[in-house]
Structure 1
Amino acid sequence: MIVKIGDAVFGSGDLPIISGPCSVEPGYVEHAEAAALAGADVLRGCVFKPRSGPDRFQGMGADAIPLLDKARARTGLPIIAEPLDGSDIDLLKSHVDAFLIGARSMRNARLLLAAGEAGLPVVLKRSFAATYDEWIGSADYIRSAGNPNVILCERGIRTFITETRNTLDIAAVPVLRTKTDLPIIVDPSHAAGRSDWVLPLALAGVAVGADGLIVESHPVPGESWTDCDQAIDTAALGHLVVTARRMRQLSGSLDPVAA
């Protein structure tokens, strides 16, 4: 199945890359331009952030909407943003091109239905403790609302490993190929938790046939308001884009029938 976010096509054999800072900050327009120049196809534009504690930055909220509009106009790229409830969907839907349902919200049936009803493509991240069938079940909520345009995103699960932020379940890509026709992308940033491990995990995702990547980037990662340790800089993003697409060309289709 093919799902489009703007001109980016997921599931066609191409390797679209979603990138940008973890959250929208006052310098977001410049951050977006840097990601676009590095080769990103879709921009991260999250204005609401579900954080681990209430004392952490929760996102700029509605104040960030003009920045989204300006970034989209400047770069010509589509934007993806994360709603946390139905009111966020109403606020965002005229300013973004797709919704991102984060890992914490994967089981929120009302949010899934509302996202489906809004009609925009949806990237659905896997909860860190969800089975494959539970993840697909959440996607079915979105599809049941009349929206078939769902992309699954593997971002790591919780295990006894503590060196990485999460454990990237690389088997998810080939296993899900046997269970669903939905495109599957990989988020190496949240799996790694640190910038120097993002590239190898991204390439691992490409090697097993991921339909795209979502990578956190920032011109000056140390100044990022959220998740600065896992953000890569603009030069590293450009290198990742080139390297990942070369690997896709070398590996070709991993369809067992084609092999």
Structure 2
Amino acid sequence: MVIVIKTGTPEAAIRQLLAQLAAQNVKGGCVAGPNGILLPLVGDTWRLDPNMLQGLPYVQEVRRLTPAYHLASRAAHPANTVVAVGDAKIGEKFCMIAGPCAVESAPQMAAVAQSVKESGAQLLRGGAFKPRTSPYTFQGLEKAGLDLLVQAGRDAGLPVVTEITDISQLDLLADVDVLQVGARNMQNYTLLKALGQLRRPVLLKRGLSATVEEFLLAAEYLLSGGNEQVILCERGVRSGVSAARAALDVSAIPVLKRATHLPVLVDPSHAAGRSELVLPLALAAAAAGADGLMVEVHDRPACALSDGGQSLTCRQFRELSAAVTALLPYAWRPDTF
């Protein structure tokens, strides 16, 4: 980080600022320039708030040279993080997560779990606690749904993924392999701090309007608590111009792969909002270098209690899995260029 101090600033004020920074484990020098005085800083600069520094009366400009998401950055951790869940090594080998938006019944979960496993899925997803836009829509089966999800996963030999919406649910989710933080909770910092204390995989979805930097700073909350098993998931952002439910930010995939060592998955179902768009978005995500996909699959989408319109049938998921597998040898990787 570099701070540009206005010409004519008293030397005592500069010394006081450097002393305050030293107390935060940041060291600085002083270089006189033609348009001001430069203070190049080294140390824990990611802890500093540029806006606070910019507000000082004698500061002309603050330039951050390293990202604020120190622990999530690839510069600090060049090797890819690999999160092992069951047979899946997320971040090393392409991973497929599939299952219904919401757990509805034992027969539904048994049918979907067995089918998606046969089609190549390595993890089973299913929602038990459903944060919905309307209070009148299906909110999930909660504890009963968790039991059905875990049992279906065990019967099919698949680890399970489900969303946590409140820290009070942690005990209920003891048998869940991967805890998902949904888009609406990406900036629920109380929840992120609590999950950072765990030593269990957490799948973090990008917020509906979050920038890439905000996304990575949310991941930083998990990492700063000591939880290194963090998986990112791009699920589309609101643009106001997309004909789909959301605009899948395909460009964010290579940006994230260069910026961070964390695995990057993509949820094409929520971006699409319509089942016929899921396959092309999934192929785009795989081609752009995603480490895996999270796809909604239902045995009878027309009867689904939640998001049936964007859910694939079991047959459609089998076709998607085959198409993506055929594409993977030609997918972009950070070391391609």
Distance across 2 between alignment mates of 1:45 and 1:195: 17
2:225 aligned with 1:145: yes
1:16 is aligned to 95
Tell me whether 114-123 or 103-112 shows the greater mean CA deviation: 114-123
Corresponding residue for residue 60 of structure 1: 141
Per-residue deviation, 1:78: 0.4
* Alpha-carbon distance between aligned partners in 2 of 1:47 and 1:104, rounded to the nearest angstrom: 16
Report the TM-score, using the length of structure 2 for normalisation: 0.73
Instruction: Kindly state the Cα deviation for residue 162 of structure 1 after the two structures are TM-superposed.
Output: 4.5
* Structure-1-length-normalised TM-score: 0.95
- 1:14-69 deviation digits (Å, cap 9, x = unpaired): 21100000011113222222222222111002200000011011100011232123
* Percent identity between the two aligned chains: 43
Partner of 1:232: 312
Q: Which runs of 5+ in 1 are unaligned?
A: none
CA distance in 2, matches of 1:162, 1:201: 13
- Decide whether the 8 Å contact of 1:173 with 1:210 is kept in 2: yes
Residue 178 of structure 1 deviates from its aligned partner by 2.5
Report the number of matched residues. Answer: 255
Aligned AA for 1:18? Answer: I
Alignment map for 1:34-49 (pairs within 5 Å):
34-49=115-130
Q: Say what the alpha-carbon RMSD is for the aligned residues.
A: 1.3
Whole-Å separation in 1 of the counterparts to 2:152 and 2:181: 21
Which residue does 1:167 correspond to in 2?
A: 247
Cα deviation for residue 6 of structure 1 reads 1.8
Deviations 1:190-247 (A, max 9, x none): 0000000100000000011000000000111111110000000001101111110110
Say if 2:83 is the partner of 1:83: no
Which is worse superposed, 27-36 or 137-146? Answer: 27-36
Matched, 1:136 2:213: no
Alignment of 1:61-210 (within 5 A): 61-93=142-174, 95-210=175-290
Q: CA deviation at 1:180?
A: 1.1
Structure with bigger gyration radius: 2
SS in 1 for 2:333: coil
More strand by share: 2
Decide which structure has greater helix share: 1
Q: Is the 8 A contact 1:21 1:231 kept in 2?
A: yes
Structure 2 CA distance for aligned equivalents of residues 50 and 258 of structure 1: 39
Alpha-carbon shift at residue 5 of structure 1 (Å): 2.0
Query: Counterpart amino acid of 1:81?
Result: T
Q: Residue by residue, what CA displacement relative to the aligned partner does 1:151-176 show, whole Å, maximum 9, x if unpaired? A: 11100000122420000000001111
CA contact (8 A) 1:185 1:212 kept: yes
Cα deviations by residue, 1:81-138 (Å, 9 ceiling, x for unpaired): 1010011122102x21011100000000111122222321011000011011110011
- The aligned amino acid for 1:19 is A
